[in-house]
A and B are shown apart, each in its own frame.
Chain A
């Protein structure tokens, strides 16, 4: 079952987690402004922090505090207006759009609150789609990934034939199929009941145990407590605190 762990992740030594040069994600004064009809909105305001390889970080904060904005920038779906964003040692702000696409396919796995499965493709094909854009499809591997999330027997079902929890598990299988070092989950359990939340939490625990870096946005304190560290946002500003500790502004 632990077929997904490849060399780059296996190399991580848990003792290195605290070393800053081991940072797989690092933000320096990252700002993201939106300029709309109603004027400028600063969704993220000079955020600076690092996440080390293999770490599980929960991003919390009230609605509109910039959590999705942050995750989308880490996922290279969006670019900072200002500041430096390094992912896996590469300055993504300076990359071309095409290189960024490639980079995203290699490094990032997304888990969405709304699952975002292609409705006309079966569970298996949805997983294979990620393989298709990454390199080559491999049905055996895709089936193995679905088995891993407990959906081996539902591989040929369409998303509409699956429950929300099952769809989210397909989404997890799709996120891990190309074995990306970083998993980004924007409220992965936001649309799930407690039982399914437990299943997805269990899957994330497994993935973390295998060395994946996980950045997870959540409103749920229970989910947040699974993370090793919590990064709190408020009005686009970053506050950092250990789980259960007091909120301390970083700067």
Chain B
């Protein structure tokens, strides 16, 4: 038997001997590792998740034709889509003011329903028109009030009548509620108006939005490209605040755990003064005993990391399932950081009480009961 095995057996026995103490230290370490794992795992996927959430808020860039122009040149949408990348959602809109059969003016918008559906996933729509139906329309809930028969919507633009079929109602709480949306091709054929607004939704934070805006302005000179400020900045603020919150939580938890581990290990040193005195009598140096004690704490902290990692990964998956409706996979990449964090807490918490050993009086401790 090598003396190494014996050292580990010694540590194992010592941990098992003070089961309650070891367990409470292990518990603290496990909790710290679990919370750190959950936070770090969420943290690494949080930005992506938050940005994904923000996609639901619709466009963060609005593009309008150059000054003096009424509409875009042909192929502008394709260029925008190419510049913004395949992950971006874009939809173009043409607008005209028509009159209902009751003589009320109403804004009619021509667009690509499939694209809008992707871009404005937050819109509340009772039923989307299918792409095949060329005269199918989406009625804003206010606009619908001025229409007699939603299945037979009679509109007139510059003396040219059209009959649309209202497939569903739209409720956004905004200007959209006052409009009637119809397929772009039919819209252009009817009014002669071409798209005059492109709404673009770029994934990622403010930096990505700014960079796409820069590209668009460079590649499409003259065209007006504007960010939807409140959305881009709101997103940034929320992401920053969430980061700060997570850091604060992590520091607080690390501190709490460090204090509880410190208390446990201090009690453990005091409890074992007699053992340490005996080791002194057997010729152990203080460094050697400190080493043993720290080793024990490190073994416990590694145990805590292993259990805590599993628990924390599970918790983060659950949290993200509940909040973002997508599971977060366990991330091995967070393990080194957590190991480092926990082992440093353990070593520090073990080294502080070890100062008590320096004043150890083996003679007095070994003398009697």
Taking Cβ atoms with an 8 Å cutoff, the residues of A that contact B are 68-69, 72, 75, 77-78, 97-98, 101-106, 108, 110, 112-114, 116, 118-121, 125, 128-134, 136-137, 139, 174, 178, 186
Say whether A98 contacts B285, CB under 8 Å: yes
Given A77-B363, A120-B17, check contact A137 B3 (CB 8 Å).
Answer: yes
Chain A residues with CB below 8 A from B284, complex form: 101, 105, 133
What residues of chain A lie closer than 8 Å to B363, measured between beta carbons? 68-69, 72, 77-78
Contacts A97-B286, A121-B13, A134-B283 hold; do A128 and B6 have CB atoms under 8 A apart? yes
Question: B282 to A125, Cβ gap below 8 A?
Answer: no
Assembled-state Cα–Cα distance A178/B7 (Å): 18
Q: List 17 A-B contacts (CB under 8 A).
A: A72-B367, A75-B281, A78-B363, A98-B287, A101-B286, A102-B283, A102-B285, A110-B281, A110-B282, A114-B369, A116-B278, A121-B13, A130-B283, A131-B3, A133-B288, A178-B283, A186-B367
Q: How far is the CB of B126 from chain A (nearest CB, A)?
A: 72
Q: Is the CB of B13 within 8 A of A120?
A: yes
Q: What's the minimum C-beta distance from B283 to chain A, rounded to whole angstroms? A: 2
A31–B206 CA distance with the chains assembled, in angstroms: 79
In the assembled complex, the Cα of A114 lies from the Cα of B284 at a distance in Å of 20
* Additional A-B contacts beyond A68-B363, A103-B283, A132-B10 (14; CB < 8 A): A69-B363, A72-B366, A77-B280, A102-B283, A102-B285, A104-B283, A105-B284, A106-B283, A120-B13, A120-B17, A121-B10, A128-B3, A133-B283, A133-B284
| In the complex, chain B residues whose CB is within 8 Å of the CB of A130 | 282-283
Residues of the B chain whose Cβ atoms lie less than 8 Å from the Cβ of A137: 1, 3, 6
B279 interface contact, C-beta 8 A: yes
Nearest chain A CB to B23's CB is how many angstroms away?
15
Roughly how many angstroms separate A119 CA and B274 CA in the complex, as a whole number? 11
Are A136's CB and B282's CB within 8 A? no
Tally of B interface residues using CB under 8 Å: 30
Q: Which of A78, A102, A112, A129 contacts B10 (CB 8 A)?
A: A129
* Interface of chain A, main secondary structure: helix
- Assess whether B281 is in contact with A129, with CB atoms less than 8 Å apart: no
User: With the chains together, A110 CA to B50 CA distance in Å?
Assistant: 67
- A77 & B362 in contact (Cβ 8 Å cutoff): yes
Interface bits B236-279 vs A (CB < 8 Å: 1, else 0) = 00000000000000000000000000000000000000110011
Interface presence of B152 (CB below 8 A) = no
**Which residues of B are found within 8 Å of A68, using beta-carbon distances?**
363, 367
Q: Residue of B at shortest CB range from A135?
A: B3
Q: Is B163 an interface residue (CB 8 A)?
A: no
CA distance A104 to B284 in the complex (A): 9
Give the chain A neighbours of B285 by CB distance below 8 A. Answer: 98, 101-102
B278 touches A118 (CB 8 A): yes
Q: How far is the CA of A105 from the CA of B284 in the complex (A)?
A: 7
Inside 8 A of B172's CB, which chain A residues have their CB? Answer: none
Cβ–Cβ contact B283 & A119, under 8 A: no
Give the chain A neighbours of B9 by CB distance below 8 A. Answer: 125
Q: Is B73 an interface residue (CB 8 A)?
A: no
Pairs of residues from A and B, 5 with the lowest C-beta to C-beta distance, nearest first: A105-B283, A120-B17, A72-B363, A137-B3, A78-B363
Q: State whether the Cβ of B14 lies closer than 8 Å to any Cβ in chain A.
A: yes
Task: Report whether B282 and A114 are in contact in the complex, using a CB–CB cutoff of 8 Å.
Answer: no
- Decide if B174 is an interface residue (CB 8 Å cutoff): no
Closest Cβ neighbor of A138 among chain B residues: B3
**Is B127 engaged at the interface, CB distance under 8 Å to the other chain?**
no
* Interface residue ranges of B355-369 to A (CB < 8 Å): 361-363, 366-369
Q: Which of B279, B283, B362 counts the most A-chain CB atoms under 10 A from its CB?
A: B283
Q: Could you say which of A101, A110, A128 has the most chain B C-beta atoms within 10 Å of its C-beta?
A: A101
For the complex, give the distance between the alpha carbons of A108 and B10 in Å.
Answer: 23
